């Protein structure tokens, strides 16, 4: 991508909008769909001017300042930062190398909540488990003085559903290995690519479990380890993972409103998260989500205020445990909300809508489906989730929820890696997201009657 790309991207985005509007006029959208670069500009500027925004770090704080200034400049009202504190993760030096049977460097990254290796690192036998289930079956104490290695090849699916089961080695592996005496845990990255970049992400140590150093190696390194394991050769690894948890780190949510014509009606809540992992620049996770919901909110009110207020939640500290969503639900427990949605699966096109509305809102649901059909979005039969940042308020208030599911086929190639950068975003697909969100907002934010969740 070169200097001329930005111009090219903008014109590509423009063309796509025009073509979509011309070929497939949406009933609930104006005949000449507005073509603006709001989403792309937010995303380009955020990834360029701020970059990584690790939860609880000074860069996340810089991102909050940036966000408040940008949302005010875009005309939002009541723009504010709502602070809270978290136990953050501070990344340190991280290296690994096989010292036996063959000397080979391994590309590794620490997982969030990992504790540091001893000064100078640790060198130990690494025991290969082909899966998390195999680790679970290891006898108690059998890993004393050893490093546990968990293989676990995640697969790519359009609906991203591989992340749940295959991600468990990352979420649970270190804690399980710890209970069996392991000194440290290394996993195959929870990802679907073949790049040499490992995927970070949080691991969890439940209360009572001793935290141990935990890291993930890239897919090619995991392939190497699997080949050596297949030869039956014992492996020794020299491991340095100096990252550590930091209690009482400052974080916060950024909240902004586009007031509606009737302030007495509960608002529509749109969520994304502002924090990102530190390896990349948080373009697809989740700068894109914040860019999409913000541009769509503005576009929904471009020709005049919607009936209901549209509220944005750019949440903090999603990656380390969904702290921003919990803080929002707690701080705003006393305010009624009408419906919540979240964008947090990248920037590729929306392919499916999942509707979580009460039977009494069937007419609203039908209008949403009809508004999305011209954009090539199919109605799914699953239960919408809403995303980590809005789930606590959805659960607390039993809110209506709509998921606009993005194509996740290549999302986990990039997720939590250094490769999460702006060049991975297709401006035309980003624009399709904005168009889809706008179409939904024009229905739900103009609905006068009560909106209720499915159950």
Contact residues toward its own copies (CB under 8 A) are 1-3, 5-6, 44, 47-52, 59, 102-105, 107, 130, 151, 153, 194-197, 219-220, 223-224, 226-230, 280-281, 417-419, 421-424
Q: HEC states along 100-150?
A: ECCCEEECEEECECCCCCCCCCEEEEEEEECCHHHHHCCCCCCCCCCEEEE
Question: Smaller CB distance to its own copies: residue 98 or 254?
Answer: 98
Minimum CB distance to its own copies, residue 419 (Å):
5
Q: How far is the CB of 16 from its own copies (least distance, A)?
A: 20
For residue 182, the minimal CB distance to its own copies (Å) is 21
Q: How far is the CB of 54 from its own copies (least distance, A)?
A: 12
Q: Is the preceding omega at residue 196 within 30 degrees of 0, hence cis?
A: no
Closest contact distance (angstroms) between CB of 15 and its own copies is: 21
- CB hemisphere CA count around 351 (13 angstroms): 12
Task: Decide: 6 and 423 in contact? Cβ < 8 Å.
Answer: no
56 backbone dihedrals φ, ψ, rounded to 5°: 80, 0
In the bound complex, what is the minimum distance in angstroms from residue 148's beta carbon to its own copies?
17
Smallest separation, CB 247 to its own copies (Å)? 25
| Nearest distance in Å: CB 181, its own copies | 25
**330: its two tokens:** 């707690």
- Nearest CB to its own copies, comparing residues 319 and 403: 319
Distance CA 236, CA 59 (A): 37
CA angle in degrees (0–180, nearest 5) for 12-17-18: 100
Whether the bond between 194 and the residue before it is cis, its omega within 30 degrees of 0, is no
H or E element in which residue 202 lies = none
Closer CB to its own copies, 97 or 305, in the complex: 97
The residue among 366 and 426 lying less far from its own copies, judged by its C-beta, is 426
Q: Which is nearer to its own copies, 44 or 94 (CB)?
A: 44
CA distances from 321 to 113, 133, 315, 325, 327 (A): 10, 24, 12, 9, 11
Burial tier of 361 (Cβ tally within 10 Å: 0-12, 13-18, 19+):
buried
Structure tokens at 333: 């427990």
Cβ closest to its own copies, residue 2 vs residue 264: 2
Nearest residue (CB) to its own copies, 281 versus 397: 281
Q: How many Å apart are CA 125 and CA 236, to the nearest integer?
A: 4
Q: Do residues 290 and 274 make contact, with C-beta atoms less than 8 angstroms apart? A: yes
Taking Cα atoms as reference points, which of 283, 303, 447 lies closest to residue 371? 447
Q: Which is nearer to its own copies, 82 or 419 (CB)?
A: 419
């Amino acid at each position: 991508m070169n200097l001329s790309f930005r111009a090219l991207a903008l014109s590509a985005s423009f063309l796509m909008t025009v073509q979509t509007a011309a070929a497939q006029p949406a009933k609930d959208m104006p005949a000449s769909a507005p073509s603006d670069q709001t989403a792309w500009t937010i995303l380009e500027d955020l990834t360029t001017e701020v970059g990584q925004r690790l939860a609880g770090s000074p860069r996340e704080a810089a991102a909050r300042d940036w966000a408040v200034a940008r949302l005010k400049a875009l005309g939002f009202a009541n723009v504010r930062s709502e602070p809270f504190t978290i136990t953050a993760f501070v990344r340190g030096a991280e290296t690994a190398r096989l010292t036996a049977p063959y000397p080979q460097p391994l590309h590794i990254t620490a997982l969030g909540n990992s504790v540091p290796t001893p000064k100078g690192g640790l060198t130990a036998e690494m025991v290969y488990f082909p899966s998390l289930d195999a680790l679970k079956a290891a006898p108690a104490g059998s890993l004393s003085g050893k490093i546990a290695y968990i293989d676990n090849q995640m697969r790519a699916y359009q609906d991203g559903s591989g992340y749940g089961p295959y991600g468990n080695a990352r979420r649970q592996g270190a804690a399980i290995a710890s209970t069996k005496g392991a000194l440290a845990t290394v996993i195959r990255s929870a990802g679907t690519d073949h790049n040499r970049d490992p995927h970070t992400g949080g691991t969890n140590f439940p209360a009572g479990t001793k935290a141990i150093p935990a890291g993930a190696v890239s897919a090619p390194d995991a392939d190497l380890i699997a080949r050596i394991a297949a030869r039956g050769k014992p492996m020794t690894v020299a491991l340095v993972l100096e990252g550590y948890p930091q209690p009482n780190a400052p974080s916060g949510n950024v909240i902004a409103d586009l007031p509606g014509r009737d302030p007495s009606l509960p608002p529509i809540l749109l969520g994304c998260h502002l924090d990102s992992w530190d390896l990349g620049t948080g373009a697809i996770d989740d700068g894109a989500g914040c860019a999409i919901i913000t541009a769509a909110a503005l576009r929904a009110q471009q020709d005049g205020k919607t009936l209901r207020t549209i509220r944005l939640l750019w949440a903090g500290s999603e990656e380390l445990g969904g702290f921003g969503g919990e803080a929002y639900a707690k701080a705003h427990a006393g305010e009624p909300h009408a419906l919540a949605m979240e964008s947090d699966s990248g920037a590729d096109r929306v392919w499916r809508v999942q509707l979580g509305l009460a039977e009494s809102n069937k007419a609203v649901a039908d209008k949403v489906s009809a508004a999305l059909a011209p954009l090539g979005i199919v109605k799914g039969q699953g239960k919408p989730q809403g995303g980590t940042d809005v789930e606590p308020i959805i659960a607390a208030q039993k809110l209506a929820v709509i998921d606009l599911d993005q194509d996740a086929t290549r999302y986990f190639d990039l997720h939590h890696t250094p490769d999460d950068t702006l060049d991975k975003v297709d401006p035309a697909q980003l624009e399709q997201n904005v168009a889809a969100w706008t179409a939904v907002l024009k229905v739900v934010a103009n609905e006068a009657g009560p909106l209720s969740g499915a159950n």
